[in-house]
């Protein structure tokens, strides 16, 4: 494996969930059910009294339609659907990759948002508490509340945000928008 391939793999593994937790949960339940089925089968084979339901009664209940079997069918269908969905959906974590020559770099979206927010704060010259930023997979959003009496130029703020994003070059690409709130706030 070349370093490039290895890094791609490391990044992919950091950005997407492994589903190990889901598999462990599903298999743990499977184990419990299988243990129970095994015990009941052995008890019935040895002609001992059943713990809860003997296999013969169980098969009989499955074969005769009733509201109970229908309800169990509905529940099994719902759980099965959820499990299949968990297996199929990509389940991406909120993280971005940053290109780097030496390392594979992955950044939490909240860190990225903080960095963009800090850049905008510096440009705007307002207290940090008045800048809120957020990063999703392809979009970044910064909201600035100006100090009343000193209007802010949103395009200048956007330029500073874009400049930072351009130097970081996160993958997947980010489109950052800066909105300046209409009403200002009195304060430092």
Partner 1 sequence: MTRSNRFLNRLLLALVGLVLLGAAAYLANNSYPVIELAKIPTPTITSLWVAAAVALVVVVLSLLWIFSRGRGRTRTVIRRESEEGAASIETRVVSDLISEDLARLPDVVGVSAAAFRVGGDTALELRVTTRAGADLRIVVDSVERAVAQLDEVLETRIPVLLHVASGVRAGFARQQRVR
Query: Under rule CB under 8 A, which residues in 119-138 are in contact with partner 1?
Result: 121, 128
Of 128, 151, 148, 141, give the one whose Cα is nearest residue 179: 141
Which 94-123 residues touch partner 1, going by CB under 8 A? 98, 100, 102-108, 110-112, 114-115, 117-118, 121
Cβ-based neighbour number of residue 142 at 10 Å = 26
Least separation, in Å, of the C-beta of 146 and partner 1?
Answer: 18
d(CA 29, CA 172): 37
Which 62-81 residues touch partner 1, going by CB under 8 A? 62-66, 69-70, 72-77, 79-81
> DSSP 3-state assignment of 156?
helix
Least separation, in Å, of the C-beta of 53 and partner 1?
Answer: 12
Is 28 an interacting residue with respect to partner 1 (CB under 8 A)? yes
Alpha-carbon separation of residue 44 from 18, 35, 49, 62, 121 (angstroms): 40, 14, 7, 17, 73
Which CB sits closer to partner 1, 5 or 182?
5
Interface with partner 1 (CB under 8 A), residue total 77
Is 159 an interacting residue with respect to partner 1 (CB under 8 A)? no
The answer to whether the bond into 172 is cis (omega within 30° of 0) is yes
Q: Which of 50, 86, 132, 134 binds partner 1 (CB under 8 A)?
A: 86
Which CB sits closer to partner 1, 87 or 156?
87
Which CB sits closer to partner 1, 60 or 138?
60
Sheet with 131-135: list strands edge to edge: 131-135, 139-144, 175-180
Which CB sits closer to partner 1, 2 or 183?
2
Of 96, 99, 92, give the one whose Cα is nearest residue 113: 96
């Amino acid at each position: 494996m070349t370093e490039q391939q290895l890094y791609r793999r490391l990044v992919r593994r950091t950005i997407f969930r492994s589903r190990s937790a889901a598999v462990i949960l599903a298999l743990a339940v499977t184990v419990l059910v299988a243990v129970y089925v095994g015990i009941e089968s052995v008890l019935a084979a040895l002609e001992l009294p059943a713990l809860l339901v003997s296999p013969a009664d169980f098969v009989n209940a499955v074969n005769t339609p009733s509201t109970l079997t229908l309800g169990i069918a509905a529940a099994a269908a719902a759980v099965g659907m959820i499990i299949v969905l968990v297996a199929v959906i990509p389940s991406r974590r909120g993280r971005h990759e940053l290109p780097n020559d030496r390392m594979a770099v992955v950044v939490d979206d909240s860190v990225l948002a903080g960095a963009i927010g800090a850049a905008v704060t510096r440009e705007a010259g307002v207290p940090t508490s008045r800048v809120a930023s957020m990063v999703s997979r392809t979009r970044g959003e910064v909201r600035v509340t100006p100090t009343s009496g000193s209007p802010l130029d949103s395009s200048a703020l956007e330029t500073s945000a874009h400049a930072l994003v351009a130097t970081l070059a996160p993958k997947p690409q980010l489109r950052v928008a800066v909105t300046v709130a209409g009403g200002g706030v009195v304060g430092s």
